[in-house]
Amino acid sequence: MTNGLSLSTMADAMAFAEMVAPTEFAPKDFKGKPAACLLAIQHGAEIGLSPMQSLQSIAVVNGRPTIYGDAALAVCQSSAVCEWVTESVDGDGATMTATCSAQRRGYPAPIVSTFSVADAKAAGLWGKSGPWSQYPKRMLAMRARGFALRNAFADVLRGLVTAEEAGDYQIDTVAIDRSNVKAKVVEVAYIGPRLEAKPASDVFAKAAGAIERAKTVDRCESLRAMLDERKASGLLTSFEFDDLVGQLHARIGQLIDAGQEAIA
């Protein structure tokens, strides 16, 4: 992923950013902004992207640095901890469900994330103007991909969410009247998707606690079966299920690193 120009010093990186910023090679949000180009290059370098790849793959969406979904997939697939990633979209119309499965090396089972039309409706995304109306199948796939890759390869992506997902986050602007200040102060807060902002359910909290207390890989496997049952019965939402599976696989990784036996 890092073939091409190598920038070994801050001076080199800044000189490159100043050269690129006024040209057509700089994305419109970075055009004429050497500092923004430099920060995009740095974000990309931290996950293994070359300078030009970084400029084309890193974007600031709703005030948050993000990575485009295709680049996120490429970064994860090129990592030594990734064995494979598969994707599919099944069904038609209102029954469509996107699935992304990601196998991390050394883990007993792949992480599987789904995102359906029903999930999109619950999040207020289905029928939304823009990509959700123009390319609904791809947007479902991008959301399932984002969840799976972040759960399986959080260390590879280093906290970057996909630009496609971040574009759906809501930003609240709240005017606050302070009695000791003449002017009103406007504060902007990032709050994320409405559905994800809901308080965790009792089922979610109990499952998260059980995962944290798990002492063996065998126990983690039994907890995974329990999560599947809870989701099938409707006690866990897709968002809660994906979050818990990510916690579960992280716990399995901790146990394996600590010398616990892996399941054959």
CB distance 87 to 100 below 8 Å: yes
Give the tens place of pLDDT for each residue, 101-142. Answer: 999 999 999 999 999 999 999 989 998 888 999 999 999 999
The pLDDT tens digits of the residues spanning 162-213 come to: 999 888 876 544 444 444 444 433 333 433 443 344 445 788 888 888 988 9
Q: How confident is the model at residue 97 (pLDDT cuts 50, 70, 90)?
A: very high
The residues facing 155 across adjacent strands are none
User: Per-residue pLDDT tens for 228-240?
Assistant: 788 777 888 777 7
* pTM greater than 0.75 (yes/no): no
DSSP state of 21: T
Q: Are 145 and 100 in contact (CB under 8 A)?
A: yes
List Cα–Cα distances, 107 to 24, 96, 102, 196, in angstroms: 43, 29, 10, 27
Q: Where are the domains of the chain?
A: 10-61, 79-193, 198-264
Residue 114 DSSP class = E
Q: How many CB atoms lie within 10 A of CB 259?
A: 6
Q: Judge contact between 89 and 141, C-beta under 8 A.
A: yes
- Which pair of tokens denotes residue 227? 């999560």
